Structure 1
């Protein structure tokens, strides 16, 4: 049984990175805002991340570190996403069990937040790893560069700086997590939305090899932005800011000003948020993410899925918390696999399974079907509190209503913890074919976790039609 720590009790870890002083509460130790790289300011703003040197003095890890997000993606978002000021945005948090004399090291899950590669915050209370710590798993949440600073394709700037940040954070975990009681040989990288897309990018990258051992993608989009699309967007962004779309031009603007201009340009023109993201053609992504998944990462088991409605349902009986896509989420469209939810999110699941059909380690699919009474369906992000088992976190009732299912949260979180620990999911593997097995969570009228087949068949048929047309 884990020892219980007094609320706010100082807890100290001596790691290769230096001495880190966090805070404990009950069975949980929290070490927040630990810099894993130098602050990306000045000459380092548009440069590859530089490993942080050893702390010369004990580092105070009692509060969340600075966030890359200065301007939220929308005025109100489903996930509470606080912006924290400061320059040291390349930081991470470690939430670990209070027990430090365990016989075996704890498995580790490294969480990558979403936000369209433009926004999002690792300091969200929805990403608190306390339930993981309760269940004997260390949870690491990572901050990385966003938007122009993380994903703009500019001359004389290394591509995919945001992914390079994540790779360095994973190196930090490999080097330091044992000091916190973690097992560097049992690291699962996980993320949602853009974070789930980043997981797929890292899985498909030759540089991801050896840095993690399992992968989980929630509503992930394997977005690799075309060069002409990115450059056109940056031209318009530079024009709006009154600067050249170059390293020097954008570097003369504050991060907040650039992020605000991106949001303003989106609102003015109706551009989607996915105008900046992973770029194909460098050492991290030499080929597209889909092509990379067919040849790399086959030694890493993958669990991935999507919600039933994602962006195709508008809120009913309450305020819309996330900007909905205007496409209707009607039954006929879902059956045909033609919704934005299907083409942008759900199609990723069988496509990835098809790309990895020869992976001996396996690919497993899930579909989150529990309909939020506030958002009018199984909308984007509503599965996060269930996976983290944090139904009491701020903002949950506003998005999920007053009575979210605690039993469903227990089941989903237990499935995720088992996977992180190394267990094979109880349902069969997927291969990207019609009738693929999957686990449905929270479908009305069914068991909380119902093993089923064919839930992704509409989009599989669509993919087959696309292949025939080509």
Structure 2
């Protein structure tokens, strides 16, 4: 290995760059040069021992100038060899290091509509390997596709081509812009454009365009749910994975109101010309002020708990997917109930404790009423209180954590259960549900993002080890990663498909178990039934 490779993004504990020139792929988009890596975790029985990484491959024109705040425009094919050995520019231009557990590097630049391809078979069009297209999370505000946690080396080792996608965020991606040919949902249109790029180019990288699984985490999972129902995305993927995310959309009128308010704060007109007069920094400043009017939590703990147990939690983001346009004609849940995406098998679930930190924010330094008392004040009967305490028995004695688990359950698992019931009622393809219950040695919780290094089988990545603890359970990562590889490859999971009132798989429930059968959505379904009753 040359010295210049030692600090290269392609150099990870799972993959070491090889000496010499990397592979060149002649794709419909144009010639692309990447980096060869040796997969350090490959064994004699592994399908592949090498992974080629291609970073920052543009799938659309840079969203600047006449393309700013407009629908994405396909990138015109190039003839000169593209150097794809370094990550492309990221829409996230403000470092989130220190505020998010997932490593999120900022790469300066304006050519942000790009993607990364990891493949064990570059240039081998007859390989027909299954493809994972990954949509990163970050609340539609932050995140990048080039986090080391999203490196596709382990999936490559096991015969899966991996693509991670960059898309416009925050106001650039989702704010209402009067006069644009895409007033809202530009971020979703970016993702759809990337899927079209995959359809047209992935065979040149060894992938099968007819075996594409669209997967995402958090906001990425909400994006997957949205695209599952979008008429513009039909036929672009054959399977879907949603991790720790539920449908999150706002009506067109609310999007317009928030844009008007942002324009007032920025001192500009709420139309295409007005927005183009402002720099991204000026828009970011105005949206930061707007965010103060859209708090993550309300001030009244009883009201927050009531929202959590009734499924009426307000939108958790300032900007995000909007229903009422050609991308999302109706709410996702309504579309699922009408059969949208019915032909696509779905694997979905969440971590047990998700945004558990919310409970500490609500409780404050001086504490307050117990979670049981808040539940009763919010209208819960004794059976509901008992169900909550039973579901989160491992948090007994830590009341702020229990409160946080209840609140985040109402923002993730409950709307997920409601959506899956709608999907089931439409006679859709099978759905498999899981719960990630293993608790970090650092925090004691199975919180949001914790399952990512297990799915990507990258526990050795320094950031993952620092967040998880000193003794990472490789057997759990091996099992979870294998389940994802199997599903992406077109096989049905080894546990029963979910039906209302049904069961699913639980990962790492105790120190002695890797997987077991459980009922990940039992509490959510009970709350839905109580409300309907």
Q: Same fold (TM over 0.5)?
A: yes
- Matched-pair contact (CA < 8 Å) for 1:155–1:246: yes
Q: Distance in 2 between matches of 1:278 and 1:387?
A: 26
Q: Distance in 1 between matches of 2:470 and 2:87?
A: 28
Q: 1:285 aligns with which of 328, 332, 348?
A: 328
Q: Deviations over 1:397-453 (max 9, x none)?
A: 23212222111111100000000000101111112x22x11100111255211122x
Q: Counterpart of 2:131?
A: 108
How is 1:123-138 mapped onto 2 (pairs within 5 angstroms)? 123-138=146-161
TM-fit CA distance, 1:335: 4.5
TM-fit CA distance, 1:9: 3.6
Is it true that 1:275 corresponds to 2:340 in the alignment?
Answer: no
Q: 1:198 aligns with which of 189, 202, 223?
A: 223
Q: 1:180 to 1:91 in 2, by over 3 A?
A: same
- Matched-pair contact (CA < 8 Å) for 1:238–1:245: yes
Q: Counterpart of 1:326?
A: 362
Q: Deviations over 1:280-307 (max 9, x none)?
A: 1111111101111221111110000011
Q: Counterpart of 1:234?
A: 259
Q: Counterpart of 1:266?
A: 291
TM-fit CA distance, 1:115: 0.8
Q: Distance in 2 between matches of 1:233 and 1:46?
A: 16
Q: 1:136 to 1:7 in 2, by over 3 A?
A: farther
- Matched-pair contact (CA < 8 Å) for 2:126–2:206: no
TM-fit CA distance, 1:375: 2.8
Q: Distance in 2 between matches of 1:324 and 1:45?
A: 40
Q: Distance in 1 between matches of 2:121 and 2:506?
A: 34
Which structure 2 residue ranges, 5 or more long, are not aligned?
1-15, 39-49, 298-315, 364-369, 373-384, 393-404
Q: 1:231 to 1:22 in 2, by over 3 A?
A: same
TM-fit CA distance, 1:32: 0.5
Q: Deviations over 1:34-75 (max 9, x none)?
A: 000000001211111100011121111001001111125685
Q: 1:206 to 1:393 in 2, by over 3 A?
A: same
Q: 1:381 to 1:57 in 2, by over 3 A?
A: same
**Aligned positions, number:** 455
Is it true that 1:16 corresponds to 2:16 in the alignment?
Answer: no
Which structure 1 residue ranges, 5 or more long, are not aligned?
315-322
Q: Counterpart of 1:152?
A: 175
TM-fit CA distance, 1:249: 2.6
Is it true that 1:351 corresponds to 2:363 in the alignment?
Answer: no
Q: Deviations over 1:369-411 (max 9, x none)?
A: 0111223311111111111111122421232122221111111
Q: 1:207 to 1:227 in 2, by over 3 A?
A: closer
Q: 1:7 to 1:359 in 2, by over 3 A?
A: farther
With structure 1 as the length reference, what TM-score do the two structures score? 0.90
Q: Counterpart of 1:320?
A: none
Q: Deviations over 1:259-300 (max 9, x none)?
A: 344345435863565121111111111110111122111111
Is it true that 1:440 corresponds to 2:484 in the alignment?
Answer: no
Secondary structure at the residue paired with 1:250?
Answer: helix
Secondary structure at the residue paired with 2:23?
Answer: strand
Q: Counterpart of 1:340?
A: 407
- Matched-pair contact (CA < 8 Å) for 2:60–2:73: yes
Q: 1:113 to 1:7 in 2, by over 3 A?
A: farther
Greater C-alpha Rg: 2
Is it true that 1:175 corresponds to 2:205 in the alignment?
Answer: no
- Matched-pair contact (CA < 8 Å) for 2:123–2:204: no
